[in-house]
Chains A and B, each alone.
Chain A
């Protein structure tokens, strides 16, 4: 792979005067060095939030789902909103590592490790919600098709929630394997550099005895390709199935055939935004600006812009179809969504998801690191509200007006959400300090072709 040729007009993916050893040193630095004050502060905050979340979850399980703000009409709200939001965020990782691998997009190499880590960690958060939203968590294993002594007692394969169980667990395991495969040579690099026996031992275990033989590399490449092939349909399937939770129902505002593509686009949208949020900070803190360049961020911004526009089209299509269908319940559901008591959530969703990415048409804005960071946060907020709008505004006023009501979260709802954010960052911060956050082995493979120094040498483009 290293032998590819890159046109001179392409901007280098590794900036600065880097050689192979520099890459190893740069990637190993956060692992081998000591954590600074900032890390500890961030970690403490995340841990506190996580503990708060655990407290809120314990309270819920000990007392009942009634401690949330749900009611007879709105049976899901923050729980499933958070679930879909986290699953959506988990989308970027696989898209970057699998789809972009298949499309031979070299720029993925700088970001795929962290994107995948983010995927794994956010799917963990997502997976929490379908479990804790159950009234009887202690019977959660009922959703698994386990052989039992009750004869024909089996799960209901008609239920999208059951499809979810399979979709999420498949996605999680494939992502994990894919991620770990990529990590093997990098763990081996850390192992080889480690001076303390304990670290050596640990990284030795984690790298599964990687030796760096040609055979190892050959298998590595093959497995990566096979897993990429496997993971690509998953990118589409997971969120398609999550959207089925709504699309196969009969609730006006949920029962929509546009949901699968719309959800996938939304997921990629939010996933890239989250990658941007994380990496913009990480490249700064961990001194990785040479590998996660402005160009990376710009490219991600373009993906955000495109997927954001797709999502925007979907929003408008929904409104059009509601009107065109001539079904009064459908029409009212969308009228209520946009102008009902939750109009502010709809407006927030529209402005964050449809309008804000449009700024990315301007080169100046999409190459601005600060602006990209702000937009990434805005998009994350917008996408949370998208799910909230879909779930709550559809449920709170459905068929029979007698059951119409409103939803308002309790401190437990909020606590659990904050808790998962804390949990996510606890994992991510630990990861940033212990894992090779850049796929250095892969990055090294493009150093000659796309490293600034080598590019200059080759193209004779001396200044």
Chain B
């Protein structure tokens, strides 16, 4: 920043053309330096005690001293830019648009790159990118120290040349034997890859591409194909929905590939007196069920009947079904659907083509605007039948070669043993893998592939919307992309990059700029030709087939957990430590069970002396497959149903700490997440859970999560449903917020940051937790430490269950507990959640209180208030008395109990050089013994201010962001400057739904919550 400031020097400057000013300008020194006089005065010189010899001594000593002072150790492992790359400025982050498409998660993302290192994933909001927790955490998998570091043949390292030669030779052999070559991949939404596989087919003939999803959506795909003539998934825009009825569809999880949280949340925020009504029929407590206005517990087998009944009630009587207690709920839901007409939608997660057909039929009958059958999604394409056929063929020796990419079938297949047997019978088996996982170990050639952040590629996530994948770092290891290998094997000399560019220029871009597309990360084709047709479907048969599905006393419903998803990122400590949004248990999967079933079985959950949760062990058996699993009693679990999450129990290519849980894929018979006829047996022993929230209910403390109903919200003054706590001042009742011990501080100048959290929009997905982890170098502490209640999360999402049917009931119960014993009995009762509770989520981080209790108690003033509203931590000053944490009513302060980085006892990413590359250089890594907590991403707000200053402009409207507010695509978290009239947060902070957490204490937080409104209106 060049400065043109003029400094005032003397009165003379007032005069025009002052000679003195002119003279001064020329002269650096006001007075002549009397060198001549000094040297000329022989007498002084001679009497001077400094002799020539002394002078030389001084010079000598000084030189020696200066030389010694410069003898410092060399700087280790830091390489300066001798030639600085054009576009890298040390200290300034670069953002690249790319796409994550790993077969399970598909997202348009922005990658934050610092000094050549990708360090954080953010949603590419221009491309409607949504980053869930797994996408956010994917950057850490890049720096996984257990990655496959080069090609291997039968476990021995070879070179790429050798691999190419041997594989091509074998492929030619297979070609000669005229046996088919199977390319088994995860869902590949990549047009250029599909083109390459076709090219492989040209070269070697008889190449079959089998797509396989570890967690199948085959039923939905088949149903859509039957009804609309194309094997794809429809897109749902839940923002348009007034009524959402879901039967077993966890659409806020990874149902049909997920990605619905943003549109769902938009429809959930009451605007103009309206919000969507969400009714969920399900067996496991899912994230969607937890967010529903009405949740009805239904066993998986009964969900089939529920769907038929719903069809009967909404469309027409198709199949008479017996009366069940569900009838009433279904009639009510149907009435609401009918009332909403085309603004209603029915979703189902039942893995049965017939069920999917019925749901599509209902939506079709409603002419629902919510789902779009023309713009289809390509993020699930797996075909169970094809996979089953492939395994059968392999075992019969009908397959010559198997090339596996983007998939770990040996781990994920329910009949993995058969697959491994089959692999032995093929001439050539090749697996492309990032990790030395189960499949990589079972094949002849395991070829190391780069992470998506090191790769080129493309994906057509939604029809007509093409996304590009570009590398953001040079490959860390000796890896080569699947596509590059295909090119090499087909004898092509071009690189995949050239091939990709050519494909795009010739087939996709239609003359548009490649560079622009690469910059945007996405290219949207102008007009999308609809390629679906409406077909007649025999729904009656479908319904009768569906009705015939038999249930049993105990039914297993397999599900996907937010943290690990399908399990491919199991070696990612951030995801392992991410508490499940519902159970708030990390580092595990477990069998969820209703309290009634657990009691009948004799299974218990109990707390040990330090509060940690333990659970009984049971043996779950299904058709000869059995596994010993811990039981977690889950409020809201349908009686007679059990839940078990995929993604755990992996053993290969994982650090010992990450080998958690048990493999649920073993129970995934016929790729159906619903498995009746399971049997349970209590076995001896207990399992130790790492649960971060040990008290599940809100204890009737309605002021923590304020709630109201849409009806009250629309009709009554906000003072009634958003009550400000009152206190007595001079015998008058006044609002607690108006009483103040201190003189208030003028905060109207400069920036004043607030973070607004809308409890209506927050679905509890946990993306913000991982974003915070990545941005702020939050350490991972491991299962044992979590058990000791020592998680380090700066941001957590509290989940509460109600004891009564809803939280209002809890508050009422608490009010009615009269007398000492009444109070005690009520409180004891409130500790237990209801069998089917109402659920509330609340993200809690440092509230940055303007009157912070932590600040007054720190003896060394290590935590103090910033000028912009933040409560700041000076780690260097902290001596670790933990008084601040004790005095924090929100319990958001986290203490470094141990040295987490560079400690072999905490062998996570901060213990190896590779893993440390993910650290954000703008945020210090804390040492043992200091307190840490949310800083409101001060490094980000300061960077924003600096950027604006450099560009010589005021900070733009809504330019301030924090890691969590960026990650929250649901729009629940909005950050900004309340001193800036135009910032959204200013309006939000003054909204009638706005309240502060624990307002009565008078902490005056800078985090604002918005009263949760539930749409309880029944038809």
* A and B are interacting partners: yes
User: A-side interface residues toward B, CB under 8 Å?
Assistant: 63-66, 69-73, 75-76, 130, 133-137, 139-140, 142-143, 153-156, 158-162, 165, 245, 248-251, 323, 328-329, 331-332, 335-336, 339, 395-408
Q: From A71, A153, A331, A332, name the one whose CB has the most chain B CB atoms within 10 angstroms.
A: A71
Set of chain B residues within 8 Å of A398, measured between Cβ atoms: 889, 891
Q: From B698, B799, B887, name the one whose CB has the most chain A CB atoms within 10 angstroms.
A: B887
Q: Would you call A251 and B886 a contact (CB within 8 A)?
A: yes
Set of chain B residues within 8 Å of A328, measured between Cβ atoms: 701, 814
The 3 closest A-B CB pairs, nearest first, are A135-B880, A135-B929, A66-B897
Closest to B894 in A: A72
Q: Would you call A71 and B610 a contact (CB within 8 A)?
A: yes
Q: How many pairs, one residue from A and one from B, have CB atoms within 8 Å of each other in the complex?
A: 185
Set of chain B residues within 8 Å of A339, measured between Cβ atoms: 824
B695 within 8 A of A: yes
A and B contact pairs by CB, cutoff 8 A, 6 listed: A66-B898, A76-B886, A134-B929, A136-B927, A402-B799, A408-B611
Q: Would you call B896 and A135 a contact (CB within 8 A)?
A: yes
Interface residues of B in 924-950 (CB under 8 A from A): 927-931
B364 within 8 A of A: no
Q: How far is the CB of A240 from chain B (nearest CB, A)?
A: 17
Which residue of A159, A160, A336, A400 is within 8 Å of B891 (Cβ)? A400
Q: Would you call B886 and A395 a contact (CB within 8 A)?
A: yes
Closest to A245 in B: B883
Q: Would you call A162 and B814 a contact (CB within 8 A)?
A: no
Which residue of B856, B881, B897 is within 8 Å of A64 (Cβ)? B897
Q: How far is the CB of B614 from chain A (nearest CB, A)?
A: 13
Q: Would you call A251 and B877 a contact (CB within 8 A)?
A: no
Set of chain A residues within 8 Å of B861, measured between Cβ atoms: 153-156
Q: How far is the CB of B846 from chain A (nearest CB, A)?
A: 13
Q: Would you call B885 and A75 a contact (CB within 8 A)?
A: yes
Q: How far is the CB of A247 from chain B (nearest CB, A)?
A: 12
Give Cα distance in the complex from A76 to B887, angstroms: 11
Q: Would you call A65 and B929 a contact (CB within 8 A)?
A: yes
Give Cα distance in the complex from A69 to B609, angstroms: 10
Which residue of B853, B877, B928 is within 8 Å of A142 (Cβ)? B877
Closest to B584 in A: A402
- Chain A binder among B42-50, B653-661, B787-795: B787-795
Set of chain B residues within 8 Å of A139, measured between Cβ atoms: 879
Give Cα distance in the complex from A404 to B695, angstroms: 6
Q: Would you call A249 and B857 a contact (CB within 8 A)?
A: yes
Q: How far is the CB of B488 from chain A (nearest CB, A)?
A: 52
Q: How far is the CB of B821 from chain A (nearest CB, A)?
A: 10
B694 within 8 A of A: yes
Set of chain A residues within 8 Å of B842, measured between Cβ atoms: 402
B697 within 8 A of A: yes
B832 within 8 A of A: no
Q: Would you call A401 and B883 a contact (CB within 8 A)?
A: no
Give Cα distance in the complex from A396 to B878, angstroms: 23
Q: How far is the CB of B702 from chain A (nearest CB, A)?
A: 10
Closest to B820 in A: A323
| With contact pairs A64-B896, A159-B859 given, residues A401 and B698 touching in the complex (Cβ less than 8 Å) | yes
Which residue of B608, B694, B857, B927 is within 8 Å of A161 (Cβ)? B857
Q: Would you call A159 and B883 a contact (CB within 8 A)?
A: yes
B844 within 8 A of A: yes
Q: Would you call B699 and A332 a contact (CB within 8 A)?
A: yes
Which residue of A158, A251, A402, A408 is within 8 Å of B798 (Cβ)? A402
Q: Would you call A402 and B695 a contact (CB within 8 A)?
A: yes
B823 within 8 A of A: yes
Which residue of B789, B853, B878, B898 is within 8 Å of A71 (Cβ)? B789
| With contact pairs A136-B878, A406-B610 given, residues A72 and B859 touching in the complex (Cβ less than 8 Å) | no
Which residue of B609, B791, B799 is within 8 Å of A72 (Cβ)? B791
Chain B residues with a Cβ closer than 8 Å to the other chain, count: 63
In addition to A156-B859, A404-B694, 7 A-B residue pairs with Cβ atoms within 8 Å of each other are: A65-B897, A72-B789, A72-B894, A135-B896, A159-B857, A249-B883, A251-B886
Interface residues of B in 831-863 (CB under 8 A from A): 842, 844, 853, 856-861
Which residue of B859, B885, B928 is within 8 Å of A155 (Cβ)? B859
Set of chain A residues within 8 Å of B927, measured between Cβ atoms: 136
Set of chain B residues within 8 Å of A130, measured between Cβ atoms: 881
Q: Would you call B877 and A135 a contact (CB within 8 A)?
A: no
Q: Would you call A406 and B701 a contact (CB within 8 A)?
A: no
Q: Would you call A73 and B891 a contact (CB within 8 A)?
A: yes
Give Cα distance in the complex from A159 to B859, angstroms: 5
Q: Would you call A135 and B827 a contact (CB within 8 A)?
A: no
Give Cα distance in the complex from A13 to B617, angstroms: 69
Q: Would you call A134 and B827 a contact (CB within 8 A)?
A: no
Q: Would you call A136 and B879 a contact (CB within 8 A)?
A: yes
Set of chain B residues within 8 Å of A72, measured between Cβ atoms: 789-791, 885, 891, 893-895
Q: Would you call A406 and B823 a contact (CB within 8 A)?
A: no
Give Cα distance in the complex from A289 to B780, angstroms: 62
Chain B 686-719, CB-CB to A under 8 Å as 1, else 0, gives 0000000111011101001000000000000000
Give Cα distance in the complex from A63 to B791, angstroms: 18
Q: From A64, A65, A407, name the one whose CB has the most chain B CB atoms within 10 angstroms.
A: A64
Closest to B930 in A: A135
Interface residues of B in 601-618 (CB under 8 A from A): 607-611
Set of chain B residues within 8 Å of A407, measured between Cβ atoms: 610-611
Q: Would you call A159 and B856 a contact (CB within 8 A)?
A: yes
Closest to A143 in B: B859
Closest to A336 in B: B827
Closest to A331 in B: B823
Q: Would you call A155 and B860 a contact (CB within 8 A)?
A: yes
B508 within 8 A of A: no
| With contact pairs A71-B790, A72-B789, A335-B827 given, residues A408 and B609 touching in the complex (Cβ less than 8 Å) | yes
Which residue of A64, A140, A248, A332 is within 8 Å of B928 (Cβ)? A64
Set of chain B residues within 8 Å of A395, measured between Cβ atoms: 886
B1001 within 8 A of A: yes
Q: Would you call A332 and B704 a contact (CB within 8 A)?
A: no
Q: How far is the CB of A410 from chain B (nearest CB, A)?
A: 9
B61 within 8 A of A: no
Closest to B728 in A: A326
Set of chain A residues within 8 Å of B897, measured between Cβ atoms: 64-66, 70
B899 within 8 A of A: yes
Q: From A134, A135, A399, name the one whose CB has the most chain B CB atoms within 10 angstroms.
A: A135
Give Cα distance in the complex from A400 to B693, angstroms: 11
| With contact pairs A65-B929, A135-B928, A136-B929 given, residues A402 and B882 touching in the complex (Cβ less than 8 Å) | no
Give Cα distance in the complex from A400 to B609, angstroms: 20
Set of chain A residues within 8 Å of B179, measured between Cβ atoms: none
Q: Would you call A400 and B859 a contact (CB within 8 A)?
A: no
Closest to B853 in A: A250
Interface residues of B in 905-941 (CB under 8 A from A): 927-931
Set of chain A residues within 8 Å of B698, measured between Cβ atoms: 401
B998 within 8 A of A: yes
B890 within 8 A of A: yes
B432 within 8 A of A: no
Closest to B864 in A: A156
Which residue of A65, A133, A140, A402 is within 8 Å of B693 (Cβ)? A402
Q: How far is the CB of B897 from chain A (nearest CB, A)?
A: 3
B800 within 8 A of A: yes
Set of chain B residues within 8 Å of A133, measured between Cβ atoms: 881-882
Set of chain B residues within 8 Å of A165, measured between Cβ atoms: 859
Give Cα distance in the complex from A143 to B861, angstroms: 9
Closest to B698 in A: A401
Give Cα distance in the complex from A248 to B609, angstroms: 30
Interface residues of B in 971-1019 (CB under 8 A from A): 998, 1001
